[in-house]
Amino acid sequence: MDQHTLYLNCKSQDKLFFENISLLITHYNRSNSLERLLRTFRELNCYFKEIIVSDDCSNDVHFSHVQKLKEQYGFRLIETKTNKGLANNLNKGDDAVLTPLTLYVQEDFIPKVKFREKLQLASDFMVERPELDLIRFYAYFDYPYLKVFKGGFYEMIFYKLTINYRKFYYYSDHPHLRRRNFLEKFGRFTEGIKSDQAEYKMMQSFVRSKGKGLFYKNFKELFDQENDSHEPSTVKRNFLRENNSFLLSNIRHVYRFLKFHFDLFS
């Protein structure tokens, strides 16, 4: 859907203001993507108590653009003098949140029209169900063990003894709604390591601490993720992680199954 069509679909909708939610965006050297994300939320007539942009010491060109966007969109900018990685960017951004709920979105995502109503539902669920710790809106694949909840959302179920290692992807850095006390309950993101390792450690902590969450099954209805040649992903992964040959893929599956279970029970 192009931006003009998006505008035509959304201009007649009432402004939706989430008084209990702060939008937290982590950013590093992708200011055009950040602008697209902020613009799309505005076109969706989707507003928050506060927008917080946590920047990981972007270069001068991108940081200058971010400062111009700050004037235009009125967000709170959390800076750092040196690049410290995604974990630090998440921690310092989360420290700035004052509302009961945090909507976390990285700058390269694009919310779709349907996200408005699903975020409203998710916000209501978090109020109604205090045992819920987070609600996930996007993934690269379905969570394997789901129990029907309502409104297109499913409860994630973690079974210790099943053989599908994808059950460990219980937490994800993809767009989600979480409570203000999330880091207090599950620990802060581990700094000084690669972003995927920090995400893995949080995933393990969420499982060990018996976190509770919902998953929106038709997640492609809610967000797109776009990285182009001008602003590519800033996450670099090695050859063994990305290679999808039959042999390496199966070795990777066995390795993850053994490692994930060992780490959980050790």
**pLDDT number for residue 5:** 43
List, for residues 177-221, the tens digit of each pLDDT value. Answer: 999 999 999 999 999 999 999 999 999 999 999 999 999 999 999
* Nearest C-alpha neighbor of 18 from the set 89, 111, 156, 91: 111
Number of H helices, E strands in the chain: 9, 11
> What whole-number distance in Å separates Cα of residue 26 and Cα of residue 9?
28
CA quadruple 226, 223, 14, 148: dihedral, nearest 10:
180
List, for residues 36-47, the tens digit of each pLDDT value. Answer: 999 999 999 999
Residue 163 near residue 156 (C-beta atoms within 8 A): no
Between strands 176-179 and 76-78, the pairing is: unpaired
Q: Which residue positions in the chain have pLDDT lower than 50?
A: 1-8, 10, 12, 237-241
Buried b (16+ CB within 10 A) or exposed e, 186-203: bebbbeeeebeebbbbbb
**pLDDT number for residue 262:** 75
Model confidence, pTM = 0.88
* The domain defined by 3-235 carries CATH number 3.90.550.10: yes
